Amino acid sequence: MSAIELLYRAALGAPATRTLIINAHAHGLLTELNEQADQLDLWQCFKPGYDALKGMGMPVSPELPSADNPYDLILLLPAKNKQQTLAWMATAMERLTEQGQLLVACANNHGAKSYEDALKKLAGNISSSSKSKCRIFSARKIAALDTQLATQWLNAGNPQRAESHGLISQPGLFSWDRPDRGSQLLLEQLPELSGTGMDLCCGYGLLSDKILRSSKQIDRLHLIEADHLALNCAETNCTAWSDKTEYHWLDAASEPLPENMAWIVCNPPFHTGQDRDIDLGQQIIINACRALKSGGLLYLVANRKLPYESVLQAGLKTSQTLIEAEGFKVIRGIR
């Protein structure tokens, strides 16, 4: 039994009037939960997860509901990033009614014990059980809640200016607090760009910020990102170029991209959740090639061992590796 199923089954045994699921994932049990609760709200900021929930007809949003109307039950599935998950725990407590219950489930090998200890520290008292290599634990919002710690976790998980690159980012985003070396290598290989282009899988806008600063002849830049939180940061970071930028919350592996691009820069992901997913990067590259106009340029950075060359050869007229360094490769292709 997965942590998702464990969490949703536990919720079915804890009927509530108003229920919120933070980092909701699609599962057949959601239909029963939706029927049981007077109101069920789902929060999912990752576009593929959002689309899966929307496809079930679930009431899902990429924006967290306000704290004005508290919930008597909140379910939470941890993120990969601990700092982000702690902020979600504090957010959940903030949005609970007095005596409201927070339920958390996590696989043991994804840090379940650490999160259980953290919730106990925050809430003062918890109940816990283990099943199927997962742990489920819960706490109620009572006077023992450490509000000072909750504020600390919230502040640490909020969007903030990272000292290393000066951009607004937040825990949980890719390389949130420092420029990743792959992107740096890609930037070093870029010429001055012009016309209409795309930052595919833009994250919090590291590439876009640098490109817009250095290439004055850009007419339009489309920023594509599947993480709604990252896209919000990118929009903040590129505010100075609001007349040139357009933002798209898209699953680049499965949804149509803007077309007729003169150039595309891309540092594609190759993980789905905790798992390595080479097909994900390959599909994004296929869609990137299709989005270029004839003669358009693709600049791609990837882990040196990832097998992207055959995909590039199929989608482009030519491609060449510009540099291999520090475990990365930067490739330039022409459609």
CA distance 241 to 163: 22
Q: What CATH number has the domain bearing residue 149? A: 3.40.50.150
How many domains is the chain partitioned into structurally?
2
Query: 292 and 318: one domain?
Result: yes
Task: Show contacts of 332-335: CB within 8 Å, 24+ apart.
Answer: 332/189, 332/297, 332/298, 332/299, 332/300, 333/289, 333/297, 333/298, 333/300, 334/295, 334/296, 334/297, 334/298, 335/289, 335/292, 335/293, 335/294, 335/295, 335/296, 335/297, 335/298
Q: What angle in degrees, to the nearest 10, is found between the helix axes of 147-157 and 112-123?
A: 130
pTM for the predicted model, two decimal places: 0.95
CA distance 318 to 335: 7
Could you say which of 101, 135, 157 is where a domain stops? 157
Query: 188 and 328: one domain?
Result: yes
Query: 153 and 197: one domain?
Result: no
Query: 129 and 263: one domain?
Result: no
Reading the block at residue 29, the tokens are: 């049990």
Query: 118 and 192: one domain?
Result: no
Per-residue pLDDT of the chain in tens (335 residues, 90 and over written 9)? 899 999 999 999 998 999 999 999 999 999 999 999 899 999 999 999 999 999 999 999 999 998 889 999 999 999 999 999 999 999 999 999 999 999 999 999 999 999 999 999 999 989 999 988 999 999 999 999 999 999 999 999 999 999 999 999 999 999 999 999 999 999 999 999 999 999 999 999 999 999 999 999 999 999 999 999 999 999 999 999 999 999 999 999 999 999 999 999 999 987 555 556 689 999 999 999 999 999 999 999 999 999 999 999 999 999 999 999 999 999 999 99
Task: Provide the residue range defining the domain that includes 177.
Answer: 161-334
CA distance 80 to 46: 13
Query: 291 and 192: one domain?
Result: yes
